[in-house]
Structure 1
Amino acid sequence: MTKAIISASRVWVRNVLLGLTLAVSSAGAAEAAKTSLVLGMTIEPAGLDPTVAAPVAIGQVTWQNIFEGLVTIDRDGKIQPQLAESWEISEDGLTYTFKLRSGVTFHDGEIFDASVAKASIDRARGEDSVNPQKRYFATIETVEAPDAATLVLTLKEPTGSLLYWLGWPSSSIVGTASADDNRTTPVGTGPFRFKSWTKGDKVELVRNDDYWDKEKAARLETASFRFIADPQAQSAALKSGDVDAFPEFAAPELIEDLRTDEKLAVVIGHTELKVVAGMNNTRKPFDDKRVRQALMMAVDRATVVDGAWSGFGTPIGSHYTPNDPGYIDLTGVHPYDVEKAKALLAEAGYPNGFTFTIKAPQMQYAQRSSQILQALFAEIGVTMNIETTEFPAKWVADVFRGGDYDMTIVAHAEPMDIDIYARDPYYFNYSNPAFNEVLKKVEATADADEQARLYGEAQTILADDVPALYLFVMPKLGVWNAKVKGLWENEPIPSNVLNEVHWEE
């Protein structure tokens, strides 16, 4: 009897230990199997090809994940080799010779070589090109592929920013067979392959196991981009674990609440997101510099930052951020001064103010900033009506392309894009030969210090002319699971680069 009891006890103990072992093993296996990520975004891109459309949400899904360039911009904003492993620039700055990597294939099996790179650049700069940054390629005279590993760009004139521009999403190298379908089924050379796109919900990527750079191969097996516009829903998704990360969280007023959740990390970095209220400089009364200056003096930037973005943000006085070379704080050029603003309006012929409409995208920063501007302008007798304009489709059609607006407000995300004021046409309809000349000098030199000095001149011209109301730079409000590692803290270029992302074991 005793032996039976002992035997039964041993069986029971053995079974318990076995159960514990299996449980521990299963838990360990589950932990080790965490190789997927669900990343949230506020805006869903209208397409997935950054070489044919401008909205930054496109690159935030596909750049460096699916698509790559001859060079890339790293997390510190520096130019690094990518599909080109090295390059040489002639002494006169007119010839760029790239040595291309071998052993690189597109996700559909097409081999990457100089002929493909040439075709991609020719597509971007061609007469029928719809590339959103076609101007980047305007100074290229010829593109030659003398052999499979060599690409030669010959320029019409020195272009000091060319290498930097070649690292942008719009300069991604696309395949000859797949290029026309990249908008909906993108094919690149990157560490992730496109799996699916469920409109209104998510884009799914899977790891490219044949990626050419084994040292930088993706650590995640799958990655999903989920599109959630409502900030409260974003917060709920983070807290429940339905979404693992929101690199650009859309509700700064909820940040302090999220800080209290030990499962989450709140990481505040810097971006190139310049919030500006652009004016149609050829439409009355905005064609009068004094009116634009008066509106700028009616704006208390600190009030805008507090009210629109809960105090998160850096006031700016020109189209430039403190992260950029040659930055000057020009917020004192037209400081907040209601009485001077009224006097300047009277001098311009508007002693009783005027009425106009701002076309404001639906995003919270734009809506809130517009409401604050509305109240501030009322103090100088100016009435501003707010018309909510769906972004990106209607805003692009009506404002960006159609130019049918008085004022609008948007966060310009592209880094070092002060040159947009020299474009003809561009939605500001701003023209200043002196400004254009400064930008030409920037491109004519490769000297970084001289470029920084010239950028200072360009900033100063804009701060005085006020073709747009310069408000603030938005920070990068990142919120993600505390065990997620490798996401970029800062955003030197609009992106969600995932190849280094992994879960802490």
Structure 2
Amino acid sequence: MKPWKTFAAAATLAVLSASAAFAARTDLVLGMPLEPPHLDPTAGAAAAIDEVLYANVFEGLTRIGASGEVLPALAESWTVSEDGKTYTFKLHTGVKFHDGSDFGAEDVKFSLDRARAADSTNAQKGLFAAIEAVEIVDPATVNVTLKTPQGAFLYNMGWGDAVIVAPESAATNKEKPVGTGPFKFDNWAKGSAITIVKNPDYWGTPALLERAEFRIVPDAAAAIPALLSGDVQAFPNMNVGDALPQVQADPRFKVVIGATEGETILATNNKKPPFDQLKVRQAIAHAIDRKAIIDGASSGLGTPIGSHFSPANEAYIDLTGTYPHDIAKAKALLKEAGLENGFSATLKLPPVTYARDGGQIIASQLREIGINLEIIPVEWADWLSQVFTDKNYDLSIVSHTEPNDIDIYARKDYYFNYDNPAFDKVIAELNLTSDDAKRTALYQQAQKILADDAVNGFLFELPKIGIWDAKVEGLWENSPIQANDLTKVKWVD
């Protein structure tokens, strides 16, 4: 080879090598503590389902944005009738499901009718209770008529439980999810990881990542080494424990502490004696020391709450003083309830750290007033079965990460077993109200009723501790909905 050709070849090779070295990565491994029980957002209550699939694989008529706003999704626009009861959705055209089938009005009707059917397995069936009828106008237009106006209807249609599925694939979505989103399901190595890949035929703005893997990392002892080694590049919501200062001091990582919609509660079976007595629930509320629980169960980062409402919401009111920490008052209330000598109960704890650590602290606090708790650790699937579905429990600890979900206390079959007609009346009025000022007043009434009734032990708002490689951009700072939206995530130099 002539010298000039040798030089040119070497130069070309150097340029190609440099380009490869500086090319932005297009893959991402995210760590998450809990594995989903299945992969169908319309058929399960576990937050981990949405954390993988929401906005990535599945889409709804609307979607919730990073700031909690309602955005168009499969519906490009909508109009509302003067009486507030009929929503006309104009759908995007040219949209296909990942199996190649066409998306259209029939899929919207199928999904909404399926979610509100008598035999529906949707965990948030109440979201669809206001729907009177779903009518196909043409392949790209759907009318949804409500029984009464509902101020939160567009917001409700942005939940993961309201994503649109196809009749051809709905039955198999638990194992092989088929949506319309910018990513397609690729593989689920159970117990290990779930992988999604870029959808080359996506109807909207293409994803910037080619591949994302959601790796199951159940505890901090494994999470920290995985992060420091680069094996996992992002933990959108990390159990970092005492290692937080170490990670914050490391320039390789970005630490973003944000807010969630996760009301962390001491869930209480309100129909099971002696928890059916208000004085007993009030005694528990007085015995709880929120600061100690927050310090021990959320690295001191949780925000104390006194009712089931996020402090990030403009309608929030601070009700933490309703039942201040007061052991003497707690003991007096138990005595008034005829339980001066205390009693024993069970505390079923799911595997998340805030529950397991918080459970130990609460058990110690309640022991001071004579309540002896038997701690029963359960796996997530067992918690969903025993506590959430069968209501076979006394007390439990869990974060409710669904947005603006105070209305769950009006559901007669909900696992708290709470029943208060005054509260139900407020929620019914809220559902009929679209004026923001009136809705705020009603939200505040609802918060006050729950706080006064000590329905649950209201502990703290779960913080979102996001830690990821400093070169990763686009992950959410806050969690207005239980999601890891990867639609704008990319690597930068």
Matched, 1:149 2:140: yes
Map 1:125-140 to 2 at 5 A.
125-140=116-131
Report the secondary structure of 1:273's partner residue. strand
Distance 2:11 2:342 in 1: 78
Instruction: Indicate the structure (1 or 2) with the bigger Cα radius of gyration.
Output: 1
Q: What secondary structure is seen at the aligned counterpart in 2 of 1:98?
A: strand
Q: Which residue of 2 aligns with 1:469?
A: 457
Give the secondary-structure state (helix, strand or coil) at the position aligned to 1:426.
Answer: coil
- The aligned runs of 1:11-30 (5 Å cut-off) are 22-23=13-14, 25-30=16-21
1:320 aligns with 2:305: no
Provide the secondary structure at the position in 1 that maps to 2:332.
helix
What SS does structure 1 have at the residue aligned with 2:487? coil
Q: Is 1:415 aligned to 2:414, yes or no?
A: no
Matching of residues 188-267 of structure 1 within 5 Å: 188-213=179-204, 216-267=205-256
In the alignment, the residues of structure 2 paired with residue 441 and residue 336 of structure 1 have an alpha-carbon distance, to the nearest angstrom, of 33
8 Å CA contact 1:67–1:187 kept in 2: the answer is: yes
Displacement after TM superposition at 1:128 (Å): 2.1
Which residue of 322, 334, 345 corresponds with 1:345? 334
Aligned residue number for residue 258 of structure 2: 269
Q: CA deviation at 1:235?
A: 0.9
1:384 aligns with 2:383: no
Q: Deviations over 1:106-133 (max 9, x none)?
A: 1111111112211111111122211111
The answer to whether structure 1 residue 362 and structure 2 residue 384 are counterparts is: no
The structure 1 residue matched to 2:426, chosen from 438, 443, 456, is 438
Distance 1:211 1:283 in 2: 50
- Tell me the SS of whatever aligns to 2:413: coil
Q: Which amino acid aligns with 2:459?
A: L
What amino acid maps onto 2:464 in structure 1? K
Is 1:425 aligned to residue 416 of structure 2? Answer: no
Please tell me whether the aligned partners of residues 253 and 309 of structure 1 are also in contact (alpha carbons under 8 angstroms).
no
Q: How does 1:401-412 map to 2 (within 5 A)?
A: 401-412=389-400
TM-score, normalised by the number of residues in structure 1 = 0.95
CA distance in 1, matches of 2:5, 2:230: 36
Structure-1 residue corresponding to 2:277: 288
Aligned to 1:177: 168
- Partner secondary structure for residue 183 of structure 1: coil
> Matched residues in 1 for 2:6 and 2:93: separation?
56
Q: Given the alignment of the two structures, is residue 498 of structure 1 paired with residue 486 of structure 2, yes or no?
A: yes
Decide whether the 8 Å contact of 1:280 with 1:286 is kept in 2. Answer: yes
Structure 1 residue runs of 4+, over 6 Å off?
13-18
From 78, 83, 86, the counterpart of 2:69: 78
Q: 1-side partners of 2:22 and 2:212: how far apart?
A: 17
In structure 2, do the counterparts of structure 1 residues 15 and 474 end up closer, same or farther at CA, with 3 Å as the change threshold?
Answer: farther
Deviation at 1:17, TM superposition (A): 9.9
State the match for 1:4 in structure 2.
none
CA distance in 1, matches of 2:264, 2:397: 7
Residue 334 (str. 1) matches residue 323 (str. 2): yes
CA distance in 2, matches of 1:170, 1:323: 23
Q: Is the 8 A contact 2:24 2:491 kept in 1?
A: no
- Provide the secondary structure at the position in 2 that maps to 1:219: coil
Counterpart secondary structure, 2:114? helix
Gap runs ≥5 in structure 2: none
8 Å CA contact retained: 1:291, 1:345: yes
What is aligned with 1:39? Answer: 30
**What letter is aligned with 1:354?**
F
| Distance in 2 separating the partners of 1:281 and 1:31 | 59
Unaligned runs of 5+ in 1: 1-9
SS of residue in 2 equivalent to 1:346: helix
Find the counterpart in structure 2 of residue 6 from structure 1.
none
Query: CA offset at residue 325 of structure 1?
Result: 3.4
Query: What secondary structure does 2:399 align onto?
Result: strand
Structure 1 residues 130 and 230: CA distance shift in structure 2, 3 A: same
Cα displacement (A) at 1:252: 3.0
Distance in 2, Cα, partners of 1:425 & 1:298: 28
8 Å contact 2:296–2:357 — kept in the other structure?
yes
Distance 1:66 1:164 in 2: 19
Distance 1:25 1:92 in 2: 63
Q: Give, in whole Å, the separation in 2 of the partners of 1:352 and 1:158.
A: 51
Q: Tell me by how many angstroms 1:19 deviates.
A: 5.8
Q: CA deviation at 1:28?
A: 2.6
**1:396 matched residue in structure 2:** 384
Q: Distance in 2 between matches of 1:412 and 1:133?
A: 12
Structure 2 Cα separation of the partners of residues 235 and 288 of structure 1: 44
Contact 1:438–1:458 (Cα < 8 Å) also in 2: yes
TM-score (norm 2): 0.97
Q: Which residue of 1 aligns with 2:112?
A: 121
Structure 1 residue matching 2:370: 3-state secondary structure: coil
Q: Which amino acid aligns with 1:194?
A: F
Deviation per CA, 1:119-151, whole angstroms, max 9, x where unpaired?
111111122211111111112111100211210
SS at 2:79's partner residue? strand
Query: What corresponds to 2:447 in structure 1?
Result: 459
Distance 1:193 1:362 in 2: 29
1:315/1:471 contact within 8 Å kept: yes
User: Counterpart amino acid of 1:382?
Assistant: I
> 1:427 and 1:494 mapped to 2: Cα distance?
20
**CA displacement 1:219-243 (0-9 Å, x = unmatched):** 0111111111021211111111111
Is 1:318–1:330's contact at 8 Å kept on the other side of the alignment?
yes
Identity percentage over the alignment? 50
**Once the 2 structures are TM-superposed, how far is the Cα of residue 195 of structure 1 from its aligned partner?**
1.0
- Offset at 1:14? 10
Letter in 2 for 1:78: E
* Residues in 2 aligned to 1:388 and 1:234: alpha-carbon distance in whole angstroms: 21
8 Å contact from structure 2 (residues 298, 463) kept in 1: no
| Per-residue deviation, 1:162 | 1.2
Paired with 2:370 and 2:188, the residues of 1 have a C-alpha distance of: 49
Q: Secondary structure at the match of 1:441?
A: helix
- 2:220 and 2:241 in contact (8 A); partners too: no
Alpha-carbon distance between aligned partners in 1 of 2:48 and 2:183, rounded to the nearest angstrom:
17
What is the alpha-carbon distance in structure 1 between the residues aligned to residue 25 and residue 240 of structure 2?
Answer: 28
